[in-house]
Amino acid sequence: MTGRGPHEVDPVTSTPFHISQTDRVATAGSCFAQHVSRTLVQEGFRYLVTEEKPATAAAADENFGVFPARFGNVYTPRQLLQLFDRAYGLFAPVDIAWRKADGRFLDPFRPRIQKDGYASLSDLREDRAAHLAAVRRMFEESDVFVFTLGLTEGWLSAVDGAVFPLAPGVVGAIGDPTAYSFHNFSVPSMIDDLSQVIDKARVLNKDLKFILTVSPIPLIATYEDRHVLVATTYSKSALRVVADTVCNGRVNVSYFPSYEMITGPQARSQFFADDLREVTAEGVNQVMSVFRAHYFAKKGGQAALDAGRPAVPPEANEREIAENARLRELIATVCDEIAIEPASDPSGPPSG
């Protein structure tokens, strides 16, 4: 490490598997996960998109293709676990909708995927049913699942423990504020939640491989009575332990050190923008170049990697090609937590 610059350290020593060009790759997690999907598309790999814009006018053309299904940011292992359970009818939260000031409805579990909300509860339910069907397809059809752990802090329903990506009231009006509570997840609970996701997904898709990363983006704020710097240190340390523990206990679950590449001493803070939070394009490029070098199968060795795998029929690629073209056009990374900043903030969402 001594004497090396930000671009001279590659912390990956080995990977348990590679991603071939026939593998269907899904991503979920915090804002940083979106850089993986863009790199996959740019390199000609198969980024799986299972939720397309429906014909109904109930769903605006927003956030399709950002993730495989239109679930927005998934910040915690508990949120990912509940997404799986909701998709398969294993959990039916009490919270059905949040009401905006203008009377329209928001989905509490994807409050920013459609900024104007839904005109009616029936519209919301129709779109949610299509969305959860797309989530099921994602878990069942993907070959590699990349999950970026972003936060330990969250907001829960005091009634049934449902976890939300944003504090109730940030984007929608709420009735009884005592119906929700702040929660900072512990390491053991997050290990259990993430382990359940992997085990449940593999019941349906036994060969599914996982890549875990930890987002290097510091917390934008904390609800706890301590400085956000201290809260960030706990959050990232806990998530790093969770990722390591889960990887060490399961086959074909790999950890990719994007966090270390951005925050390590060799980076000399050069990969953070002036706000000390946003990761610069240079930092993203460095991380993704290492990811590409270690996880992307070389085209020359494709036949060996794909031995025994049926060829992908041309018609199966048509939808993916169309959706991936849309993904290339996305400029700003979608970050739900930015909603807690004042609406007048001209800086816009961070790209990390």
| Digit-coded pLDDT (tens) for 237-283 | 999 999 999 999 899 999 999 999 999 999 999 999 998 988 998 99
Q: Distance (Å, rounded) from C-alpha 228 to C-alpha 48?
A: 36
Count of H-run helices and E-run strands, the chain: 9, 10
Q: In what order do the strands lie in the sheet with 46-47?
A: 46-47, 24-29, 144-149, 209-214, 253-255
DSSP state of 154: E
pLDDT digits (tens, 9 = 90+) for 288-343: 999 999 999 865 433 333 433 333 344 444 444 444 444 444 334 445 555 555 54
pLDDT (0 to 100) of residue 57: 47
Residue among 259, 265, 166 nearest 217 (CA):
259
Name the more confident of 175 and 229. Answer: 229
Which residue segments constitute the domains of the chain, with CATH numbers given? 24-338 (3.40.50)
* Predicted pLDDT at 307: 39
Of 107, 119, 37, nearest in space to 71 by CA: 107
CB atoms under 10 Å from CB of 203, counted, come to 8
Give the SS3 label for residue 19. Answer: strand
pLDDT of residue 325: 45
Check residue 53 and give its pLDDT.
75
Which of 18-27, 31-40, 197-206, 285-294 shows the lowest mean pLDDT across its residues?
31-40
Any idea which residue has 């240190």 for tokens? 233
Tell me the pLDDT tens digit for each residue of 211-220: 999 999 999 8
Residues 124-160 have pLDDT tens digits of 999 999 999 999 999 999 999 999 999 999 999 999 9
**Sign, Cα dihedral of 158, 162, 166, 172:** negative
CA distance 199 to 194: 9
pLDDT of 3 reads 87
Candidates 305, 186, 200; CA nearest to 250 is 200
- DSSP, collapsed to helix, strand or coil, labels residue 5 as coil
pLDDT for 320 equals: 44
pLDDT score of 341: 59
Q: Residue range 109-114: average pLDDT?
A: 88
pLDDT at 347 over 50: no
Angle at 336 between CA 6 and CA 125, to 5 degrees: 145
pLDDT at site 147: 97
Can you give the pLDDT at residue 54? 65
